[in-house]
């Protein structure tokens, strides 16, 4: 035990004690506070109820009737043993889960602290770990909802931590297949923590396999550029509404083809060679020829697929736009990276020579990494196919179906460029809480750009100013930049986060939520730490001022923890609510107006399904229902399907059921008998009334 404790610094021990102390206090709060002030998100209870049903022998099912796979697997595995306790008391697992999440939060914060302390500075490491631990937005989004985000954050940070160790190892000693396979396994853990992190996992493989070459620094960005270029070209040619309802799937098909053709073309035209081996003009010409050739081939292949009936309708002029956008971005990327490339490089292997020298190593190591990553993914998909009838979570399929509908009752897909890039000016925001800095700074531009109609312009002007300032700062610290970016895995983290964002905004996904963006929060925590460290760099060189900075960081940390604890102790009260108070008023209403043993349909219904007594809640939107129900809903047979599966009562808003995705299919089968909170209790009839 003593040796274990010695592995931790005093700050790490104090941080862990503080986090656990605050959360132990919260975990012992009144039962009423848990569903109303802590685990408030309905989606979390989908996990909780399924985990409970698994332990009680009902299988992977929310309602004990329909099998479902609408969740991320790793978090479900963690929830299962915890929610075995629900048979004794439904609040007890919530108390235990709160502590388990706090342990994950403390571990993640310690890893962030160690990474930043090693590659930046002690003072900045204290600030970053404290910020991650006690920032209210991060806590409420990542740790307080009860969703999969705590294990996703921990797995991503741990993968980056192991990549930093690998970065030091491969430069001094040979790397074995076992080491590569282990990193593939860690990447698979990241993927199973949130399945959309598969893009980060794949990019990590590129980063590992092409170490020692300039390919690893450029290819991840190129993959992101190709994704942006092709999808945005189609949007520019059509509009967001037409794109979401008609062209999204064909744009993705064209993107997949472009990824293969363009990356190969860039390689064989020598664009992935070290930029210092050729003049800037020759590099630009190489980019031009590679982009032109690959754009023509990509367009030709897709047009041929359309002729054979394999492709879908596609605006052909989008290929010309894609050529221009990708050429511009490929060139801009390489011109940006050029000043940071190692100088005095006189010669380099040609692409063919490099391929002949490395193909065997790339193939073997690629098999070791992607064999593990891809093999585990294939096993997961096959298991889903044979057990649930579909190879991917039904929840994701349903949300993409919602996005393709013209007027869905649920969240709409990307409708503007702000949402497409996740900047949140008038839509989806994937970069919180950091965009708040730019919003506040934009107020200083009000005298220059006055008026409420200049709101967006002020925001983006601040971003441009910040970007230019950061680039200038980076130019004066080129050597430090290259070293830190490489050791801390910035490139795979940036590219993976960008592609994950586009996997929602460019695919007509309806209902992307704020907790999806874990890797973006981690990326910007590292990024702002790096920037702060560069600003404070002159003070770090003097022992006295360095110590002052560390003391200041500790004082800030104490204040953050104090403010955080004050809020938590105010919300998670003790001995305030009566022990016999209903967990939710709506549950009390349903129990009073339905007989025990009732099977009740709800749109959503996660928290009610978990907390209600002697009744079964069936999820009607399909997010945590079976694939068969999803098909019945699309075919207009949902009421018949649910009646055949024992459901006799609905608690829903009838007006919601009139519009997509329900299309009024329930109306002939419903008979109202009570109301509460804008929803009706309705009988589901065996035969339609009309």
Token look-up 């609408």 returns 70
Which pairing describes strands 616-619 and 670-676: parallel, antiparallel, or unpaired? unpaired
pLDDT mean over 97-124: 96
**How far out from the chain centre does Cα 126 lie?**
25
Most confident of 3-17, 290-304, 468-482: 290-304
**Residue 6 pLDDT more than 70?**
no
- How many angstroms separate the CA atoms of 671 and 324, rounded? 58
What pLDDT does 3 receive? 62
**End-of-domain residue from the set 340, 374, 399:** 340
What pLDDT does 5 receive? 67
Q: In sequence order, which residues have a C-beta less than 8 Å from that of residue 542 and are 6 or more positions away?
A: none
Q: What angle do CA 134, 135, 138 make, to 5 degrees?
A: 110
- Short-list 240, 366, 253, CA closest to 314: 253
Q: What pTM, to 2 d.p., does this model score?
A: 0.94
- Domain of residue 601 covers 585-684
Domain assignment present for residue 411? The answer is no
Percentage of residues of the chain with pLDDT beyond 70: 98
- How many angstroms separate the CA atoms of 96 and 568, rounded? 17
pLDDT mean over 655-673: 93
- In the structure, what pLDDT confidence band is assigned to residue 439 with cuts at 50, 70 and 90? confident
- Short-list 44, 68, 134, CA closest to 559: 134
Domain assignment present for residue 593? The answer is yes
- How many angstroms separate the CA atoms of 449 and 453, rounded? 9
**Residue 493 pLDDT more than 70?**
yes
In which element (H, E) is residue 201 found? Answer: helix 198-209
What pLDDT does 8 receive? 83
- Short-list 624, 627, 602, CA closest to 615: 602
**End-of-domain residue from the set 311, 340, 369:** 340
Alpha helices in 338-428 (DSSP H): 351-388, 394-404, 417-420
Give SS3 for 411. coil
- In the structure, what pLDDT confidence band is assigned to residue 678 with cuts at 50, 70 and 90? confident
Domain assignment present for residue 474? The answer is no
Residue 370 corresponds to which tokens in the numbers above? 């992607």
| Overall number of domains in the chain | 2
DSSP letter for 128, please: H
Residue 156 corresponds to which tokens in the numbers above? 């991503």
Question: Using one digit for the tens of pLDDT, what is the confidence trace for 339-380?
Answer: 887 766 655 678 999 999 999 999 999 999 999 999 999 999
Domain assignment present for residue 496? The answer is no
Residue 336 corresponds to which tokens in the numbers above? 């940006």
- How many angstroms separate the CA atoms of 247 and 647, rounded? 38
Token look-up 């060189």 returns 541
What pLDDT does 457 receive? 84
Phi, psi of 600 (to 5 degrees): -120, 130
What pLDDT does 642 receive? 95
Max Cα–Cα distance, the chain, nearest Å:
84
Percentage of residues of the chain with pLDDT beyond 90: 77
Q: In sequence order, which residues have a C-beta less than 8 Å from that of residue 682 and are 6 or more positions away?
A: 649, 650, 651, 652, 654, 670, 671, 672, 673
Q: Is 331 exposed, middle or buried (0-12, 13-18, 19+ CB in 10 A)?
A: middle
What pLDDT does 369 receive? 97
Domain assignment present for residue 616? The answer is yes
pLDDT mean over 446-457: 80
What pLDDT does 338 receive? 85
Question: Using one digit for the tens of pLDDT, what is the confidence trace for 371-414?
Answer: 999 999 999 999 999 999 999 999 999 999 998 888 888 888 99
Domain assignment present for residue 223? The answer is yes
**End-of-domain residue from the set 276, 311, 340:** 340
**Residue 541 pLDDT more than 90?**
no
Token look-up 């018949």 returns 640
Domain assignment present for residue 292? The answer is yes
Token look-up 């006295």 returns 544
- Short-list 229, 163, 166, 254, CA closest to 200: 163
Residue 686 corresponds to which tokens in the numbers above? 């065996």
State the angle between helix axes of 248-268 and 317-337 in degrees (0 to 180), rounded to the nearest 10. Answer: 50
- How many angstroms separate the CA atoms of 224 and 13, rounded? 39
Average pLDDT, rounded, for the chain = 92
- How many angstroms separate the CA atoms of 86 and 612, rounded? 12
Give SS3 for 681. strand
Residue 658 CB coordination number (10 Å): 14
- Short-list 63, 60, 88, CA closest to 76: 60
**Residue 260 pLDDT more than 90?**
yes
Per the CB < 8 A criterion, the answer to whether 424 and 431 are in contact is yes
Q: In sequence order, which residues have a C-beta less than 8 Å from that of residue 646 and are 6 or more positions away?
A: 65, 599
Domain assignment present for residue 241? The answer is yes
Residue 240 corresponds to which tokens in the numbers above? 């967001």
Higher pLDDT, 177 or 456: 177
Question: Using one digit for the tens of pLDDT, what is the confidence trace for 119-163?
Answer: 999 999 999 999 999 999 999 999 999 999 999 999 999 999 999
Please report, for residues 54, 305, 507, the alpha-carbon distance to residue 243 in angstroms, rounded to integers and kept in the order given: 40, 20, 9
What pLDDT does 599 receive? 96
DSSP letter for 424, please: -
What pLDDT does 426 receive? 62
- Short-list 220, 221, 132, CA closest to 434: 132
Token look-up 């096959």 returns 382
- How many angstroms separate the CA atoms of 392 and 244, rounded? 21
What pLDDT does 424 receive? 76
What pLDDT does 391 receive? 95
């Amino acid at each position: 035990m003593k040796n274990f404790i010695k592995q931790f610094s005093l700050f790490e021990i104090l941080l862990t004690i503080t986090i656990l102390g605050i959360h132990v206090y919260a975990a012992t709060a009144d039962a009423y506070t848990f569903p109303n002030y802590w685990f408030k998100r309905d989606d979390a209870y989908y996990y909780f109820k399924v985990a409970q049903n698994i332990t009680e022998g009902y299988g992977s099912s929310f309602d004990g009737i329909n099998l479902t796979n609408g969740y991320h697997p790793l978090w479900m595995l963690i929830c299962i043993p915890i929610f075995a306790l629900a048979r004794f008391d439904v609040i007890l697992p919530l108390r235990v889960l709160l502590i388990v999440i706090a342990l994950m939060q403390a571990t993640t914060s310690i890893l962030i602290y160690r990474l930043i302390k090693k590659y930046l500075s002690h003072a900045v490491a204290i600030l970053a770990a404290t910020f991650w631990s006690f920032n209210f937005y991060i806590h409420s989004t990542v740790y307080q909802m009860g969703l999969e985000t705590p294990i996703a954050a921990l797995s991503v940070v741990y993968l980056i931590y192991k990549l930093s160790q690998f970065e030091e190892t491969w430069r001094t000693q040979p790397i074995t297949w076992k080491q590569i396979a282990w990193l593939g396994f860690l990447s698979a853990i990241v993927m199973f923590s949130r399945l959309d992190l598969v893009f980060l996992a794949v990019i990590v493989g590129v980063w590992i396999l092409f170490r020692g070459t300039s390919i690893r620094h450029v290819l991840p960005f190129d993959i992101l550029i190709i994704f942006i270029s092709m999808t945005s070209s189609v949007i520019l040619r059509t509009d967001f509404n037409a794109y979401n309802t008609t062209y999204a799937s064909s744009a993705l098909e064209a993107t997949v083809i472009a990824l293969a053709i363009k990356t190969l073309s860039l390689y064989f035209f020598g664009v992935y060679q070290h930029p210092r081996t050729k003049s800037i003009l020759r590099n630009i010409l190489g980019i031009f020829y590679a982009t032109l050739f690959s754009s023509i081939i990509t367009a030709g292949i897709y047009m041929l697929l359309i002729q054979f009936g394999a492709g879908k309708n596609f605006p052909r002029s989008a290929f010309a736009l894609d050529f221009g956008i990708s050429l511009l971005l490929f060139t801009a990327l390489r011109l940006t990276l050029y000043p940071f490339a190692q100088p005095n490089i006189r010669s380099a292997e040609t692409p063919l020579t490099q391929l002949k020298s490395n193909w065997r190593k790339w193939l073997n190591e690629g098999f070791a990494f992607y064999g593990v990553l891809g093999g585990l993914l294939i096993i997961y998909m096959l298991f889903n196919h044979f057990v649930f009838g579909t190879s991917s979570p039904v929840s994701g399929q349903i949300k993409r179906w919602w996005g393709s509908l013209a007027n869905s009752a649920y969240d709409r897909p990307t409708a503007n460029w702000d949402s497409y890039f996740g900047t949140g000016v008038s839509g989806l925001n994937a970069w919180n809480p950091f965009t708040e800095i730019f919003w506040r700074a934009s107020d200083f531009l009000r005298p220059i750009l006055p008026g409420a109609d200049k709101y967006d312009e002020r925001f983006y002007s601040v971003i441009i100013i910040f970007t230019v300032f950061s680039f200038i700062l980076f130019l004066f610290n080129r050597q430090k930049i290259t070293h830190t970016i490489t050791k801390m895995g910035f490139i795979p983290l940036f590219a993976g986060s960008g592609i994950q964002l586009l996997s929602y905004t460019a695919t007509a996904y309806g209902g992307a939520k704020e907790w999806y963006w874990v890797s973006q929060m981690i990326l910007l925590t590292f990024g702002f730490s790096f920037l702060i460290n560069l600003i404070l760099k002159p003070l770090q060189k003097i022992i006295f001022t360095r110590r002052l900075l560390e003391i200041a960081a500790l004082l800030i940390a104490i204040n953050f923890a104090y403010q955080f604890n004050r809020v938590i102790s105010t919300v998670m009260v003790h001995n305030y609510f009566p022990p016999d108070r209903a967990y939710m008023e709506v549950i009390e209403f349903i129990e009073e107006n339905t007989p025990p043993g009732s099977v009740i349909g709800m749109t959503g219904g996660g928290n009610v399904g978990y907390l209600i007594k002697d009744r079964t809640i069936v999820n009607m939107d399909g997010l945590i229902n079976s694939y068969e129900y999803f098909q019945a809903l699309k075919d207009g047979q949902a009421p018949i399907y649910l009646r055949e599966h024992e459901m006799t009562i609905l608690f829903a808003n009838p007006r919601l059921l009139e519009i997509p995705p329900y299309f009024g299919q329930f109306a002939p089968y419903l008979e109202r008998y009570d109301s509460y909170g804008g929803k009706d209790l309705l009988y589901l009839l065996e035969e339609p009334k009309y």
